[in-house]
């Protein structure tokens, strides 16, 4: 397995021990998609659209720093192929935009601000390029690798190099406007590509769904399994192939493997809003503070990393609600650990370790094996012994690893805490911290759009709706089922009619990233008076003759 060349085995490499002390950072999506209101641009948007008049890298970095984040990963190029630096590899870059009068270099501005304010910086250059005419050929792979060399030679130091498994499909491709498929296990020559990062940025952790340093958690909700292991052995989907980005059984990534051969903790990425890029209709759709704390507990609190997706608006700034959401999250996270009750490094004797409580109350327990070891514990129980010698089990789990943060029912008046190990391996010592934590209150869920049920009219790959009377329509919201069954639309065409016979095409496009991020998809149109509407799809997941979804709601005046 070539990944062994880039990973030190079950023992964490130094780059991982120094990766992100707080376990929390952000990934920034900003580009032409911001100005076209898309998630996955097709690659045909005019660079002249990119002109964020109020972009201020120092303000952005200060906001992230003040939110208690360790670093930021900048999406330097997304799947649409537009580069935020003046690359020599393609003219589809920021130098063709009016930003800074054609002299702009947004990657440089963010990198300089990170150095000034001591925030770690990482980079994502999308392997998939829906603009480049040579995509799918060897010429493009050389171009992609050169883009990586430009970024990691000129803008470091980097704490992370970010890759994903989005590979091939529909695109502009220099005007060909077609679908191109590639062998995602081999096309990008991952061994050479990862070596570029190791040569230029040896201290950068490499993230992808195949590692080698950090693995994708397997979802875009930011949630690792509550008993997730940092150790993992990637397995290819395609038999006989090496595991590689886009060719890994990522469903196993959420929990990891107790006997995994690599130290490869999960990075848990999720957008603060429903989408990764900015959409004005989501200005009040940030995840609640309680949701963010839950994600923190299921990412950084499970030995992984919390990676929140942020999206500047068309002015180039984070919306005030996004900034406030980050600040509220920091305050709530601080309250978790503001009232320590006890802290100790406990020796393990006869399969257990003991901590005097002296009647102190706690509701949050943090444990860690030695930082230079890996996940060996795969079974433990936590009990409280009271002055009358009675015992109460307050927690039972599997993994501990480099960090495990667990909420428990409030314990009061205990005499001693006992942690017993139920597997064959017993650590020599265990670090433990107890807190009297303050958790954020759950907020009531917002209103949910009522689904309009489609008519039972047989038409392959279509939903048809009778609105009962003509009404003003300004678009629609399609909500997929969370498990994304076969028949979930990837592309859409939205039609309107007043007689149910003659249809006018009102909107057409793609639900970008709907498989990995199955959230509600909002499509707006110029206001139309309609009695009937129809949703069709030319490309759906799996094999199905009918569209599958959870809800459909109209946007109305």
Question: 360 and 321, same structural domain?
Answer: no
Residue 545: predicted pLDDT: 80
Closest by Cα among 232, 254, 238, 253 to 7? 232
Last residue of a domain, one of 310, 336, 362: 336
Q: Who contacts 168 (Cβ-Cβ below 8 Å, separation ≥6)?
A: 128, 136, 179, 180, 181, 182, 184
Residues 129 and 207 in one domain: yes
Rounded CA-CA distance 313/485 in Å is 32
Predicted pLDDT of residue 221: 94
**Residue by residue, what is the 3-state secondary structure of 289-312?**
HHHHHHHHHCCHHHCCEEEEEECC
The residue-averaged pLDDT of 117-121 equals: 98
> Quick check: is 488 in a domain?
yes
Residue 227 has a pLDDT of 95
Domain for residue 94, yes or no? yes
- Structural domain includes residue 455: no
**Residue 259 pLDDT level (bands cut at 50, 70, 90):** very high
445 confidence band (pLDDT: 50, 70, 90): very low
- Same-domain check for residues 329 and 359: no
Average pLDDT over residues 239-252: 89
Cα separation, 299 vs 305, whole angstroms: 5
Residue 454 lies inside a defined structural domain of this protein: no
pLDDT band per the 50, 70, 90 thresholds, residue 460: low
Domain contains 447: no
Report the pLDDT value the prediction gives residue 3, as an integer from 0 to 100.
85
Residue 351 covered by a domain: yes
362 in the same domain as 321: no
Residue 432's pLDDT band, with cuts at 50, 70 and 90, is: very high
Mean pLDDT value across the chain = 92
Residue 250: strand, helix, or coil: helix
- Cα of 125 vs its chain's centroid, Å: 15
Boundary residue ending a domain (419, 435, 451)? 435
Is residue 452 assigned to a domain? no
Number of neighbours of residue 195 by Cβ within 10 angstroms: 14
Count how many domains the chain has. 3
- Is pLDDT above 60 for 301? yes
Residues 231 and 365 in one domain: no
CATH number at residue 252: 3.20.20.80
Backbone angles phi, psi at 430, to 5 degrees: -140, 130
Can you give the CATH number for the domain in which 538 is found?
2.60.120.260
213 in the same domain as 350: no
Q: What predicted TM-score, i.e. pTM, was given to this entire model?
A: 0.88
Residue 181 phi/psi, 5° resolution? -110, 145
Three-state DSSP class for residue 20:
coil
Does residue 453 surpass a pLDDT of 80? no
What is the percent of the chain where pLDDT is above 90?
Answer: 76
pLDDT of residue 73: 98
Would the pLDDT of 449 be above 50?
no
Same domain, 330 and 387: no
For residue 470, the model assigns a pLDDT of 87
Q: Kindly state the tokens that stand for 435.
A: 């807190």
Provide CB contacts within 8 A for 26, sequence distance 6+.
64, 69, 71, 72, 73, 307, 308, 309, 310
Asked, for residue 148, whether it belongs to a domain, the answer is: yes
Q: Is the pLDDT of residue 444 over 80?
A: no
- Pick the last residue of a domain from 336, 351, 376: 336
In angstroms, rounded to a whole number, what is the distance separating the alpha carbons of residues 134 and 171? 12
Q: What is the pLDDT of residue 428?
A: 86
Non-local (6+) Cβ contacts of 427 within 8 A are 348, 369, 370, 373, 376, 377, 421
* Residue 166 predicted with pLDDT over 80: no
Considering the domain architecture, whether residues 534 and 428 belong to the same structural domain is answered as no
pLDDT of res. 41: 95
Both 307 and 243 in one domain: the answer is yes
Count helices and strands (H / E) in the chain: 8, 25
Write the pLDDT tens digit of every residue in 384-393.
Answer: 999 999 999 9
Quote the crossing angle between the two packed helices 57-66 and 320-336, to the nearest 10°: 30
Q: Which residues contact 462 (CB under 8 A, 6 or more apart)?
A: 534, 535, 536, 547
Does 390 lie in the same domain as 330? Answer: no
Q: Torsion over CA of 214, 215, 216 and 217, rounded to 10 degrees? A: -110
Crossing angle (nearest 10°) for helices 138-154 and 190-200: 20
Q: What is the pLDDT of residues 412-427, one digit of tens each?
A: 999 999 999 998 788 8
Report the side by side order of strands in the sheet with 416-421.
352-356, 416-421, 378-385, 391-399
* Residue 543: pLDDT over 70: yes
Q: What is the pLDDT, as a whole number, of residue 382?
A: 97
- Cα(87)–Cα(95) distance, integer angstroms: 9
Domain that holds residue 543: 462-556
* Overall residue count recorded for the chain in this entry: 557
Residues 206 and 65 in one domain: yes
pLDDT number for residue 257 = 96
Which of 381-395, 417-431, 479-493 has the highest mean predicted lDDT (pLDDT)? 381-395
**Do 255 and 294 reside in the same domain of the chain?**
yes
Look at residue 136 and give its three-state secondary structure. Answer: coil
């Amino acid at each position: 397995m070539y990944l062994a060349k880039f990973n030190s085995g079950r023992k964490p490499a130094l780059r991982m021990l120094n990766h992100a002390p707080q376990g929390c950072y952000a990934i920034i999506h900003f580009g032409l998609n911001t100005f076209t209101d898309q998630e996955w641009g097709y690659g045909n948007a005019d660079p002249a659209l990119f002109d964020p008049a109020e972009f201020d890298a120092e303000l952005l970095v200060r906001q992230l720093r003040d939110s208690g984040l360790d670093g930021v990963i900048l999406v330097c190029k997304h799947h649409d192929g537009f580069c935020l630096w003046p690359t020599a590899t393609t003219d589809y870059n920021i130098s063709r935009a009016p930003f800074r009068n054609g002299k702009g270099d947004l990657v440089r501005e963010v990198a300089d601000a990170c150095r000034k304010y001591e925030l770690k910086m990482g980079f994502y250059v999308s392997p998939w390029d829906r603009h480049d005419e040579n995509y799918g050929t060897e010429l493009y792979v050389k171009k992609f690798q050169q883009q990586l060399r430009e970024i990691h030679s000129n803008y470091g130091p980097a704490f992370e190099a970010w890759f994903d498994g989005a590979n091939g499909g529909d695109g502009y491709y220099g005007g060909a406007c077609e679908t191109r498929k590639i062998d995602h296990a081999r096309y990008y020559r991952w061994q050479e590509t990862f070596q570029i990062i190791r040569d230029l940025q040896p201290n950068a952790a490499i993230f992808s769904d195949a590692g080698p340093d950090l693995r994708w958690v397997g979802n875009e909700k930011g949630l690792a399994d509550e008993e997730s292991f940092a150790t993992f052995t990637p397995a290819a989907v395609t038999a006989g192939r090496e595991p590689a980005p886009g060719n890994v059984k990522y469903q196993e990534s959420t929990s990891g493997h107790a006997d995994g051969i690599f130290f490869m903790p999960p990075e848990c990425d999720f957008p603060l809003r429903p989408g990764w890029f900015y959409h004005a209709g989501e200005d009040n759709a940030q995840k609640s503070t309680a949701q963010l704390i839950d994600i923190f507990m299921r990412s950084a609190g499970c030995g992984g990393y919390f990676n929140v997706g942020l999206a500047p608006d068309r002015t180039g700034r984070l919306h005030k609600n996004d900034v406030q959401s980050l600040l509220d999250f920091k305050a709530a996270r601080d309250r978790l650990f503001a009232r320590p009750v006890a802290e100790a490094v406990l020796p393990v004797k006869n399969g257990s370790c003991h901590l005097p409580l002296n009647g102190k109350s706690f509701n949050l327990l943090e444990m860690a094996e030695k930082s230079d070891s890996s996940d060996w514990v795969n079974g433990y129980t936590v009990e409280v012994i009271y002055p009358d010698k009675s015992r109460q089990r307050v927690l039972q789990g599997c993994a501990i690893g480099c960090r495990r943060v667990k909420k428990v029912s409030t314990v009061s008046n205990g005499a001693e805490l006992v942690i017993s190990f139920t597997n064959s391996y017993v650590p020599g010592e265990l670090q433990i911290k107890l807190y009297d934590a303050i958790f954020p209150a759950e907020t009531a869920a917002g209103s949910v759009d009522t689904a309009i049920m489609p008519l039972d009219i047989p038409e392959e790959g279509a939903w048809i709706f009778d609105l009962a009377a003509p009404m003003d329509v300004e678009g629609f919201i399609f909500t997929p089922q969370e498990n994304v069954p076969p028949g979930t639309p990837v592309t859409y065409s939205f039609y309107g009619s007043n007689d149910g016979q003659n249809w006018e095409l009102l909107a057409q496009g793609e639900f970008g990233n709907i498989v990995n991020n199955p959230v509600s998809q909002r499509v707006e149109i110029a206001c139309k008076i309609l009695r009937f509407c129809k949703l069709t799809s030319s490309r759906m997941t799996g094999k199905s003759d009918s569209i599958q979804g959870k809800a459909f709601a109209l946007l109305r005046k």
